[in-house]
Amino acid sequence: MRIADFHVTPIAISDPPLLNAAGLHAPYALRVIVEVVSDDNIYGVSELPGGADVLADLESVRHLVVGRDPFRLNAIARDIEAHFGSATSGDWQPMRTTIHSRRAARAFGAVEVACLDLIGKAVGRPVCDLLGGKVRDRVPFSAYLFYKYEGAGGELGFAIDPKATDWAAARQAAALTPDGIVAQAQAMCREFGFKSLKLKGGVFAPQIEVDTIFALREAFGPHTPLRLDPNAVWSVETAIRYGKQMEGALEYLEDPTRGQEGMAQVAKAVNIPLATNMCTTSFEDLPGSVRLGSEHIILSDHHFWGGLRASVELARICRTFGRGLSMHSNSHVGISLRAMAHLAAAVPNLTYACDTHYPWQCEEVIVGGRLQFDDGDLVVGDAPGLGVELDRAMLARLHENYVKCGLTERDDEAEMQKVQPGWKFMETRW
Ligand code: GKR
Ligand code: MG
């Protein structure tokens, strides 16, 4: 089998005005849909975060993908790594994470997932079987709570009937207070059945966010796992001070402060497991993580760890060094969600409910429309590949959104400045 064609389609999906440490989400989130088509006309798909640099990177590896055997992923990986060398441009600046900096891992990850989908379809087996087979049929996800402004983003988002479901109503309503977040959490859990809650912090003064955590604990009881993620805008001192207040109340505290050294100091001083998708985000970061003890839990993300098989390798390393494993997300549609679920189904030590932004989006590019959570879980079936087919009409429509919306990069700082002129991202705000 050979890869005869490689399609890269940028799309823009409606995204609500969600607040985070980097600013505000734009009305559209950018994603890229990647397809590899075999010479016997089977196609495999993947999805990754979008942006002009991502598109350029994917286009630049076309010649390393077309003509190749999709089963020979190691050779494709080697060639993509050699192509990028040690280049690290393309950082998503405001959050100062290294999420987008590992260009080879990002480009190869997208090619790999599409190839695994293609192989799965060719041999009639689900992607999780290509990762060694599932150890669970159901993958739990957590409710991802955000302080937000009114609205649901984009044009399609605004067209949602706010009375259609409890959640649509909650998604329209502002939730800038602890009560608003509790209401949002209740609506989200009612609608999707999630059993764990994650609050995106780093938006308001730490005490407000800590109070929100306690309001959630009060409303949901002490047995509902809670997480808070200030995206590293707290100083070490702030993280220790407010971390101590939350001892016993959090399942984990995610990226309270910046960098492995700072995280290690907080880890020593506060009796709460620390998690990260910011200070340990690649295999190169693992020696530092182990040496310093910067976190207890790593949030995997196949979009920037180099694909699904690399994420399985990460899981083994986590087990070896006593790290827990959870999963990170960004605004996305169902192709990514399915890939995340196949990975989580196959990894025994991925024992935390995974993050997902999925409830915040409303459009889909897959046949059958929006995927359904069953009591907070995604059920991983036996359909070949990722178990998704592209809805070509929706793909075209969302691509048109991309062309029309004029966004080429995620820029939460610029978006925030539209509502708060002069607002500036700060690496350490509190
Ligand atoms: O969607 O605003 C957001 C999040 O802040 C996202 O960009 C983060 O990458 O969800 C992510 C996280 O856990 O840090
Ligand atoms: Mg995070």
**pLDDT given at position 87:** 52
Average pLDDT, the chain: 93
Q: Which of 148, 328, 342, 357 is catalytic?
A: 328
Mutate to test the pocket of ligand 1, among 92, 328, 411 (most ligand atoms within 8 A of CB): 328
Distance (Å) from CA 255 to ligand 1 centroid = 11
329 CA from centroid of ligand 1 (Å): 7
**In 10 A of CB 315, how many CB atoms?**
22
Q: Which ligand is nearest to the CA of 295?
A: 2
Say whether both 81 and 175 belong to one domain.
no
Residues near ion ligand 2 (CB < 5 Å) are: 229, 254, 277
Q: What is the pLDDT of residue 93?
A: 41
- pTM, whole model, 2 decimals? 0.95
Does ligand 1 come within 6 angstroms of the Cβ of 229?
A: yes
Distances (CA, A) of 19 to 209, 214, 320: 13, 20, 36
The residue range of the domain holding 104 is 3-126+392-404
Q: What is the pLDDT of residue 263?
A: 98
Does the residue 38 lie in any domain? yes
**Domain count along the chain:** 2
CA-closest residue to ligand 1 atom 1: 330
In this structure, are 165 and 304 located in the same domain?
Answer: yes
DSSP β-ladder status, 143-146 and 138-140: unpaired
- Give the mean model confidence (pLDDT) for residues 252-265: 98
248 and 219 inside one domain: yes
Examine the domain organization and report whether 165 and 288 are in the same domain.
yes
Q: At what angle do helices 103-123 and 73-84 cross, to 10 degrees?
A: 160
163 — pLDDT class (breaks 50, 70, 90): low
Do both 195 and 111 map to the same domain? no
Q: Name the β-bridge partners of 325.
A: 298
Band (pLDDT 50/70/90 cuts) for residue 151 is confident
Min mean pLDDT across 55-59, 148-152, 269-273, 389-393 is at 148-152
Amino acid at 117: D
* 271 found inside a domain: yes
Do 179 and 66 share a structural domain?
no
Whether 356 is in the pocket of ligand 1, judged by its Cβ within 6 Å, is no
Residue 259 forms part of a structural domain: yes
Q: Of all protein residues, whose CA lies closest to atom 2 belonging to ligand 1?
A: 20
Active site residue 223: no
Residue 385 located in a structural domain: no
pLDDT digit string, tens, across residues 102-112: 899 999 999 99
Answer yes or no: do 214 and 90 share one domain. no
SS3 81: helix
Task: Specify the CATH number for the domain of residue 228.
Answer: 3.20.20.120
Phi-psi region of 422 (alpha: psi -120 to 50; beta: other; left: phi over 0): left
Task: Give the CATH number for residue 93.
Answer: 3.30.390.10
Same domain, 117 and 147: no
Specify whether 229 is located in the same domain as 100.
no
Residue 342 lies in a domain: yes
Say if residue 144 is in the same domain as residue 287.
yes
Judge if 184 and 41 occupy the same domain. Answer: no
> What share of the chain has pLDDT > 90, as a percent?
89
Phi-psi region of 428 (alpha: psi -120 to 50; beta: other; left: phi over 0): beta
**365 domain residue, yes or no:** yes
CA of residue 277 to ligand 2 center, whole Å: 5
Same structural domain, 144 and 256: yes
* 225: its two tokens: 């796992």
Ligand 1 atom closest to the CA of 97, numbered from 1? 9
Those residues with Cβ within 8 angstroms of residue 11's Cβ, 6 or more apart along the chain or in another chain: 30, 31, 32, 33, 50, 333, 365, 395, 398, 399, 401, 402
Q: Is residue 417 part of a domain?
A: no
18 lines ligand 1 (CB under 6 A): yes
Is the distance from CB of 190 to CB of 213 less than 8 angstroms? no
- Residue 397 falls inside a structural domain: yes
